[in-house]
Structure 1
Amino acid sequence: MVIRCLARHPPVEAPQGICYGQADVALAVGWEDFASQLAASLRKTGIRKLFASPLARCRIPAQWVAARTQCELRLDERLREISFGEWEMYPWDAIPRNALDEWAADLLEFAPPAGESGQELIARVTNFWNECEAGPSCAILSHGGPLRVLEALVAGKNVDLSVPAMPLGMVKLIP
């Protein structure tokens, strides 16, 4: 699969400052505007296959887009956001500072309690990438973590989890 479009899900209803990772939070009002933009991009480029995370914030817009573009939709667990384990649905400022410092010092190897390390995220997204390398063009609708990995793989660069994530609701076409 040649990845020709990367999109990050639209804003969600989680309160500001909450760590939500793989928690299945609801979409914020107005998500249809994002879905319309993604559908228009797929029509413009002729992309006929859309892969998405099964979490509602990706799945719901992906189903909306697929129904209006006749794109084949495939939900893939490997496109889920990184698991923050016991940190999920807690305010970032309630997570012990020393734990956040440990994570920031080692984005690849550190994992929150019952969560996933950056290396584990990279491994599962790379596994998805390796299966998708050959074939027709496709679009991906996912989350900040997996999209960081995919952006690097598409560009032929090393993955750097410290780079800023695509903004929420962004659609990025790849020439």
Structure 2
Amino acid sequence: MDLILMRHPPPDVAPDVCYGSTDVPPVDTMLPFATNTMLRRLGNTLDGRRVTSIHSSPLYRARHAAQWMAGQLGLHLAVDERLAEMDFGAWEMRRWDDIDRKALDAWAADVCGYAPPGGECARDVVRRMDAWARALRAQATGKDEVHVVVGHAGPIRLHTATTLRLPTAACLSWTLDFGHLCHLHIADDGQARLIRWNA
């Protein structure tokens, strides 16, 4: 089966703010262009195949685009909490420059295991994304299925690393622009191949 993970459209929040699991909205004025562009990118990736299912994070910046795309594709949207962005706890909606430097250094030194106060670590995100993906594979009925997710950069990067059996933090520095996608092919034996990144 194929798994296409798409990052949501641009959120209406300052670029220097840590917004993680906070439900910030997308930029209204950019939505029509952004969602149409996402659908076009998806179509270019499908090579004529049909989408089997479309899934979304519950956060509005992802869910709004996913709901519109599902309508265009004639599909029901499946919303799942496990697809949400990382919860940064006490860091949410604070400027990165205002967060304690020692805490940020501790996070950088142990991205997998360090969690901001009241938040998640990368390992937590990997576990919930992996649980979602295993449930999806268990329900799959054919190897030609194409499943689409509209989600967030952090979970997409982490899930890609895990699926490709790379170290957890291997692709955290990979650029994934708003509205762009990651395309993975998952073989019957669970082996994954990266087809496209930031397409």
TM exceeds 0.5? yes
Counterpart CA distance in 1 for 2:167 and 2:2 is 17
Contact 2:112 2:168 in 1 (8 A): no
Structure 1 window deviating more from structure 2 (95-104 vs 129-138): it is: 129-138
Aligned to 1:139: 148
> For 1:76, which of 73, 80, 83 is the aligned residue?
80
Counterpart CA distance in 1 for 2:128 and 2:149 is 15
> For 2:161, which of 140, 152, 167 is the aligned residue?
152
TM-score for both structures, normalised by structure 2? 0.80
1:59–1:145 distance in 2 versus 1, CA, 3 Å: same
Aligned to 2:68: 64
Aligned to 2:190: none
Aligned to 1:11: 10
Structure 1 window deviating more from structure 2 (150-159 vs 109-118): it is: 150-159
Q: Report the count of equivalent residues.
A: 174
Residue 138 of structure 1 aligns to a residue in which SS? strand
User: How far off is 1:156 after superposition?
Assistant: 4.3
Aligned to 1:50: 54
Give the gaps of 5 or more residues in structure 2. 185-194
Aligned to 2:191: none
User: How far off is 1:150 after superposition?
Assistant: 2.4
Residue 101 of structure 1 aligns to a residue in which SS? helix
2:126 pairs with 1:88? no
Residue 55 of structure 2 aligns to a residue in which SS? strand
Structure 1 window deviating more from structure 2 (103-112 vs 26-35): it is: 26-35
Identity within the alignment, %: 32
Counterpart CA distance in 2 for 1:153 and 1:4 is 14
CA RMSD of aligned residues (A): 1.8
User: How far off is 1:53 after superposition?
Assistant: 0.2
TM-score for both structures, normalised by structure 1? 0.90
Counterpart CA distance in 1 for 2:75 and 2:113 is 37
Counterpart CA distance in 1 for 2:31 and 2:39 is 12
1:48–1:40 distance in 2 versus 1, CA, 3 Å: farther
